[in-house]
Amino acid sequence: MNFQLTEEQLAVQAAARDFAQSELWAGVIERDEHQKFPAEQVKKMGELGFLGMMVSPEYGGGGMDTVSYVLAMEEISKVDASCSVIMSVNNSLVCWGLEKYGTEEQKQKYLTKLTTGEMIGAFALSEPEAGSDATSQSTTAEDMGDYYLLNGTKNWITNGSTASVYLVIAQTDPGKKHRGINALIVERDSPGFVVGPKENKLGIRGSDTHSLMFTDVKVPKENRIGEDGFGFKFAMQVLAGGRIGIAAQALGIASGAYELSVKYSKERKAFGVPISQHQAIQFKLADMATNIDAARLLCLQAAHDKDAGLDYAKSGAMAKLFASKTAMDTAVEAVQVHGGYGFVKEFHVERMMRDAKITQIYEGTSEIQKIVISREILK
């Protein structure tokens, strides 16, 4: 098995690291504290090609593989997980889904702008009563002939107010259950579409999370993705890939917290020596490093499976399950290594601990990942 990254993958990793280290540290605490959307940083990500990394150059994308995407996600998440969730949703859920299943007209109209950041995309599946139980969609898309009439509410939507394009999952034929669901492209300025207030969140506070309300929104038939009734499978397919991106985000939060812990432990003295010389700290660093390496291998395995055209539902879910636990555990221990300093904002690790939690919740909770993994094992 070859664990070596290619020259191109290493170059992407270096470019993402350089961008994150030079452009994201400044203001990250303020953006978190004031829930400020990183507009300038997202614009720069678009210019550098981080918003449509895996899309073919024909549509303005980077034409890169999923391994490169994982490497970039890790580097950006080390510094600012709010930026990386914006990037992840745009890349994995919106761009990938449109390129794979959209019509040529949809790609020309939306994808070419989503890859450059001229447009930002959002993915709207979750509802007040349908989070993990994604088949129970209450939002309806009534078939009116040449358009759908969209009614309902979506919750916790990343890029909720900054997106221009929303992929909305809705029920057209309740009698057919999940086979009666459609995925529709909805534009931000559609009459009857209202974005609710911003959620006040524990973590990833720079990203804008909103509920969305649709009242008699007319969505042209040509904005449906795939065949009639394909919407639920579409959602499952994009989420399977999205989980690799969120796994890489979790990996990045963990490695960011770990790197700060190593640095701090060499600088901070207690009992006459740097705390890195105390076994109590060394054991923590050793556990962090081991878990992070294991998480990285799972992320790269899942990315490799996707790039090789293999089934990646199980490997993606495993990567997300393990990396998100690693993010949470590592960030908690990073705060412990930093002691009192870890509890204040200037040292970053308290933010990383708050950011880590969402990786165990969105794009399927850890419990959902276990369902996906066990089904794949037992089928």
Convert residues 350-379 into a mask of x (bound to ligand CAA by CB under 6 A) and - (unbound). Answer: ------------xxx---x--xx-------
- Kind and range of the H or E run holding 84: helix 81-88
**Which tokens go with 118?**
């001229």
Residue 334 interacting with ligand CAA (CB under 6 A): no
- Three-class SS state of 171: strand
- Whichever of 331 and 368 has its CB closer to ligand CAA, that residue is 368
Any idea of the CA torsion for 71, 87, 330, 350, to the nearest 10 degrees?
A: 140
Residue 178 interacting with ligand CAA (CB under 6 A): yes
Residue 322 interacting with ligand CAA (CB under 6 A): no
**Concatenated DSSP letters of 27-40:** THHHHHHTT---HH
Told to judge if 127 belongs to the known catalytic residues of this protein, a careful annotator would answer no
Stretch 226-265 residues interacting with ligand CAA (CB under 6 A):
232-233, 236-237, 239-240
Q: How far is the CB of 68 from ligand CAA (least distance, A)?
A: 21
- Whichever of 78 and 210 has its CB closer to ligand CAA, that residue is 210
* Interacting residue with ligand CAA among 21, 108, 132, 374 (CB under 6 A): 132
Residues 147, 158: Cα–Cα separation, whole Å: 26
Q: How far is the CB of 77 from ligand CAA (least distance, A)?
A: 13
Q: How far is the CB of 82 from ligand CAA (least distance, A)?
A: 12
Residue 49 interacting with ligand CAA (CB under 6 A): no
User: Are the CB atoms for 230 and 274 separated by under 8 Å?
Assistant: no
| CA–CA–CA angle 231, 83, 235 (5° rounding) | 10
Here the contacts of 101-107 (C-beta below 8 Å, separation 24 or greater) are: 101/225, 101/226, 101/230, 101/234, 101/237, 102/185, 102/225, 103/222, 105/222, 106/185, 106/222, 106/223, 106/225, 107/59
Q: How far is the CB of 123 from ligand CAA (least distance, A)?
A: 5
- Active site (catalytic) residues: 363
List of residues contacting ligand CAA (CB under 6 A)? 85, 89, 123, 125-126, 132, 134-135, 158, 178-179, 232-233, 236-237, 239-240, 313, 362-364, 368, 371-372
